[in-house]
Amino acid sequence: MQYRTIGDTSVSAIGLGAMPLSIEHRPDESRAITTVHAALDAGVTLIDTADSYHWHADEVGHNERLVARALAHYGGDTSHVLIATKGGRGRPGDGSWTVDGDPEHLKRAAGASAKRLGVEAIGLYQLHKPDPAVPWAESVGALRDLVEAGTIRAAGISNVTTAQIREAHGILGDALVSVQNQYSPGVRDSEPQLRLSTELGLAFLPWSPLGGINRSSLDGPTGPTSAGTAFHRVAAERGVSPQRVALAWLLSRSPAVIPVPGASRPTSIADSALAADFELTESELTQLAPGNAAQKV
């Protein structure tokens, strides 16, 4: 397993996105915990979760509690595992998502997340999404207060513009260590945010990193996917999964990139973890380059 850094913490180059273990179409708890254990067995040391990763309205924090149980029941050492959670979104139980960037809400949410995770301080706490009803500086200011209070060790932001990254960096300084935006073979709108994150020394954690290759966890079993892309052709030539090629491509985009692919089966995360040591050739990278006319994603 190759490693990259988030702030001053070294983590596996591939993380685990734990969301599919708790939302709609989730597996039973036994398989969910086995999936987390498979990630740890494969050398994954970054697990991404959120208080809003749940299905029904009355189970806020379902994913955080699940991850905590999985770690507690793992046979090996987990002291080096970084749990990254998020606050600022909600799920009323009807399939929709809400946003709440009120500073007091974020502070209460972070405290509740720490209790569910069973930690004195959250390793990485991320503002899940900007709230258009709350000034960005006020929401980010809550992260600064949480760092100063010792509730969280480092802060991250998600679903943001370059201007919001710059403003947050000005407020948080070195306490800001990561940006998490959607970025994948099929969705490349966050290229500017990736470049800026690399420039500022921030880790860039693509969510839904297999878009254009696999369905998103939120799409459900009938959601759209693509086949016959350049990623599929390279995978067939190399005898590996398209997912592994996609994740290796993401890693090649910048040393700041740390993908967090979702998984609901042990075999899925075991395969994803192998991307950390899978090197693409220059010819293959040319085939996979943005704008390549041969791609159909």
Catalytic residues: 53
Give the DSSP per-residue string, 121-173.
SBSEEEE-S--TTS-HHHHHHHHHHHHHHTSBS-EEEES--HHHHHHHHHHHG
Q: Which residue has the tokens 């696999």?
A: 214
The DSSP bridge pattern shows strands 203-204 and 176-180 to be parallel
Burial class from Cβ neighbours inside 10 Å (0-12, 13-18, 19+) for residue 238 reads middle
Helix (H, G, I), strand (E, B) or coil at 105: helix
Distance CA(124)–CA(147), nearest Å, equals: 10
Distance CA(258)–CA(16), nearest Å, equals: 10
Q: Which residue has the tokens 């159909």?
A: 296
Enter the tokens of residue 68.
């905590």
Helix (H, G, I), strand (E, B) or coil at 176: strand
Distance CA(213)–CA(250), nearest Å, equals: 13
Q: Give, to the nearest 10 degrees, the angle between helix 242-253 and helix 230-238.
A: 110
